[in-house]
Chain A
Amino acid sequence: MFIAATIAVLITMALTLTRALMGPTLFDRLLAVNSFGTKTVMLIAVYGFMTGRPDFLDIALVYALINFLGTVAVLKFFEYDDPAAATYQEDDY
């Protein structure tokens, strides 16, 4: 069962990586990389169960957080050019 899930996630990662390589716009690549990161979390979790070592879940947990931070940081860079100087307006949201 876990082998099937691992293979499915690996196929998915290969497909999203294809999109990341051929994506016409930059945002396609970012979308693919973000999706790839989520799939990595799933892969680590499933692989940990497959080998009978659920301790791998710690790594998956950390990776989930890093993936989100990375995507948002890159997006903020594209939105404001200079992420350090950017502040939201009071009424923005």
Chain B
Amino acid sequence: MFDAIVWLVSWALILIGCVFVVSGAVGVIRMPDLYTRLHAASLTDTGGALFISAGLIIQSIFVFGSAMAAIKVVLILFFTLFTAPTASHALAKTALLSGLVPTDASGKPLLESSEEATQLARSRPADYRSGQDSETFAKESQFFNGELGAGRRNSGRLS
């Protein structure tokens, strides 16, 4: 009875993880531009790793009886959960910095030129605070947050 439950739960977790992973790959193939592909890939990466690792942890504890294997799987999961979002963030930032313009669903560019994308990626909170770059700030907040988000970010930086 207990064995059956263990098998069922780990089966279910690993299969859910597989669904995540395969759907992520389909998204990477079918999505229209880099930023949407990045979205598909990064979310399913962490989700799939999470579920598959959970299934493997249950297997290693109850079927293989090895706590060491379980600890190693936890470590792999830990590193994946830290590194995959970091790599995705760096990739998106570098793509924007190199002037890759994001598009909307119909393929219309959301920025006017690749120089504008570079400027958007270069703009930092430090520039907003000293007021050197308020135009870029307005543009970026409109692009990412809407006015509410801009207000919130501004009020957090009082110096």
Chain A residues in contact with chain B, CB under 8 A?
A: 1-2, 4-5, 8-9, 11-13, 15-16, 18-19, 25, 27-28, 30-32, 34-35, 38-39, 41-42, 45-46, 49, 52, 54, 57-58, 60-61, 64-65, 67-68, 71-72, 75-76, 78-79, 89, 91-93
Contacts and interface: CB of A to CB of B under 8 A. Distances in A.
Contact of B18 (A5, A13, A68, A92): A5
B80 A64 contact: yes
Given A18-B29, A46-B52, A49-B59, A57 B76 contact: yes
- Looking at chain A's contact residues, is the secondary structure mostly helix, strand, loop, or mixed? helix
Interface residues of B, number: 51
Enumerate the 9 nearest inter-chain pairs by beta-carbon distance, A residue then B residue, closest first.
A91-B126, A68-B83, A15-B25, A8-B18, A54-B69, A57-B72, A12-B25, A27-B95, A71-B87
